Structure 1
Amino acid sequence: QNWIKDLVWKQVDLNYPNMPDAKVHTGFYSAYNNTLLRPAITNAVRKARRLYGDISVIVTGHSMGGAMASFCALDLAISLGSDSVHLMTFGQPRIGNAAFASYFEQYVPSAIRVTHEHDIVPHLPPYFFFLPHLTYHHFPREVWEHDVDGNTTFRVCDGSGEDPDCCRSVFALFLSASDHLTYMGVEIAADDWSTCRIVMAQSVERLQLYLASNVITSKIPVDIIIADHSVQTDPSSSS
C-alpha cells in the first residue's frame, strides 16, 4: 500500500480519548494503540523504572515510525509525567488537528520534529490554513535541516508547529521523496523483504535491487519483469 499517496486525501477521523475536539489519523493511532506494541513498550518502561528508578524515556522514530513514536510519547507522558518523556522524530507526517497539537504540546513539551530539505512526508496529510479546525496541524517544535550556501544548517522553528519559514516554505512542486531517505547525513535503509521502503530508481537494474518494497517511487518510467523463482520449469521443454 502506498501510504504516502493515501495521506494526500486522509482526513482527521478519530476523536482522541479524553481530549475534547482533538482528532487524529486513525491509522497512525491504531498502529501504536491497537497493537501489541503498546503493552510491550509500557511494560518494558515500567520494568526499567522499577530497576533503575525514575529514569527519563526518549522516544524516536522516522517517517511512519515517527508518527507512531509521537503517540507512544504522549501515552507515556500521560502515565509517567511530562518531565519524564522526550521525543525526537525524523520526517514524520502530521497526525492530528490543531486541538490535538495543542494538547500534545502540553503533555510532551520536550518534543523535536526534525525535517530535511524538501522532504515531502512532513507536508502530509496537507495543512490548509483556511480550515484551522478541520485540517491537520503539526505539533511543535520543528527543527529544519537544510542547505544554506553549501553548508548544512539546522533552523529552530517557531512554536506554532507550522512555521511558514521552515519546511513549509518549500514550494509544493519541489517536494521530494528522496530527501525523506537521508537525515543528518544518515541514509535510511531497510534490510529485509518485510520492511516498507521508498525506492528512488534510476535504472531497471537498480530497481531490481530494491524490489523488497511495497512503496515504489520512480522518476523514470521503466518496464519490470519479476521472475518467480518458486516456479520450477523443465529444462528439456522448449517454448
Structure 2
Amino acid sequence: MGRRKWVFLLAIFVFLLSFSSGTVLKLKSDDSRPLYNHTLTMTLVEYASAVYMSDLSELFNWTCKRCNGFTKGFEVIEIIFDVEHCLQAYVGVAKDLNAIIIAFRGTQEHSIQNWVSDLFWKQLDLNYPDMSDAMVHHGFYSAYHNTTVRPAVLGAVKRAKESYGPNINIMVTGHSMGGAMATFCGLDLVVNGGEENVQVMTFGQPRVGNAAFASYYSLLVPKTFRITHDHDIVPHLPPYYNHFPQKTYHHFPTEVWLRDVSSLNHSVEKVCDNTGEDPTCSRSVKGNSISDHLRYFGVELHCETWRQCSIVMSHEMDRFSKKDSKGNLIMSRTVPSTNGNKTESLIENGDL
C-alpha cells in the first residue's frame, strides 16, 4: 500500500512538472495526421507578429523589436503593402528551418469591432473553383486572389526556390484575417503551384468556408494547424450552425486550443480532433474576448499604433521599392543566384 502511495505521488509530481514549461501537449494524434511542434509554433507566432510592423525599413532589414527571439537571422526577400485594400505581407527565408516563410497581416485593431460585427452576418457567397459544393467567404478569398498580394507572393516564392533550391519547405502563417489569407495561399501553392512541402499555421483565424471546402482543404494541405486562444472571439466567426452542417461555415483541422489556466498561472495547449469543430476545444467556451484575440503565447498580434493603414519608410529604401499608380508598394532585395554569380534583382517587370 505504501509503495502505491509513492507511485501515485510520483505520478502527480511528474504531471505538475510537465506544467512548468507552460504547455501540455498531445504530440501525436490518433491517426496519420502530422505531429504538433510547440517550438515551431513559438517561432511562427513571432513571424505572424512581425508582419504588423509599420516601419518597413526595420521590417525589411529585420531589425524591428519584434524581429528577435526565434526569428533571428531571417532574410526578407519581399514586402507587399497593398494600400488600396490595407493589406500587408512579406516573404523571406529562414535558413535554420530550411523554409520560405510567408506571413500575412490581420485586420488592424482600430476596425476590429466593426469587422467582428460584420462577420456575425456574413454568408457563404463564392464557389471555390473546381471543388464541387465548396463555398467560401468572398472577402477573404478576394483579399488574397484579387489584389496585388498573390502575384507578388508567388513571384517571391519562385525566386527564393531558384536561389535556395526546389526542395526548400514553405511555411505560411498569419493572424486573424491574415490567417484566412494564409489558408488560401497555402491551398493555392498546392493546387495551382504544384508545391508539396507546404505547411500552414494560423493564429486566431475565422472560418473561411463550408464543410465541403474544409474536407478538400484538409486533404490537400494536411500539414495545417489552427491555433486558437481561450475565449478569442474570431475563431467563432462566421457562426457555425450545427443544425445545418453542410450549409454553414465549418473550420478545417487541426485546431490547437491554447487555454489560460489562472490557477496554474500559465497556458495549456490541447491538440483537438480531426473534425475541425471539436466540441471540447474552443467551441466548448463562449467566444467573447477581443483581448484573447490580440495576444497569443504572450506575443502581441496587432499594430503598435491605431493609425489606419499607415507605414513608415526611410528614403534610403527607395532603391528597393516600386509603387503602382494606386500607391501599392513592393519592396524587393537581391538574393544569391544558384550558380553563385552576380546577384539578380528581385524586382521584375509586371503589374507594379
TM-score normalized by the length of structure 1: 0.78
Identity score, percent: 59
Give the gaps of 5 or more residues in structure 1. Answer: 197-239
What is the alpha-carbon distance in structure 2 between the residues aligned to residue 144 and residue 195 of structure 1?
30
Residue 83 (structure 1) shift = 3.1
**Aligned pairs (5 A) from 1:13-162:** 13-54=125-166, 55-81=168-194, 83-148=196-261, 149-150=263-264, 151-162=266-277
Tell whether the 8 Å contact from 1:82 to 1:108 is kept in structure 2 after alignment.
no
Give the gaps of 5 or more residues in structure 2. Answer: 1-110, 311-352
Q: What amino acid is the match of 1:36?
A: T
Query: Which deviates further from its counterpart, 181-190 or 138-147?
Result: 181-190
In the alignment, which residue of structure 2 is the partner of 1:170? 285
TM-superposition CA deviations, 1:5-49 (whole Å, max 9, x none): 000010111000010100000000000000010000011111111
TM-superposition CA deviations, 1:111-170 (whole Å, max 9, x none): 010000100000000001110111000010000000234231000000000000000000
What is the alpha-carbon distance in structure 2 between the residues aligned to residue 189 and residue 47 of structure 1?
29
What is the alpha-carbon distance in structure 2 between the residues aligned to residue 33 and residue 182 of structure 1?
28
Tell whether the 8 Å contact from 1:13 to 1:26 is kept in structure 2 after alignment.
yes
1:189 is aligned to 2:302: yes
Q: What amino acid is the match of 1:67?
A: A
Aligned positions, number: 194
Secondary structure of 1:127's aligned partner: coil
Q: What amino acid is the match of 1:191?
A: E
Which runs of 4 or more aligned residues in structure 1 lie more than 4 Å from their structure 2 counterparts after TM superposition?
none
TM-score normalized by the length of structure 2: 0.53
What is the alpha-carbon distance in structure 2 between the residues aligned to residue 53 and residue 79 of structure 1?
19
Q: What amino acid is the match of 2:229?
A: H
In the alignment, which residue of structure 2 is the partner of 1:203? none
TM-superposition CA deviations, 1:62-87 (whole Å, max 9, x none): 00111111111110111344631100
What is the alpha-carbon distance in structure 1 between the residues aligned to residue 191 and residue 252 of structure 2?
16
RMSD across aligned positions (CA) = 1.5
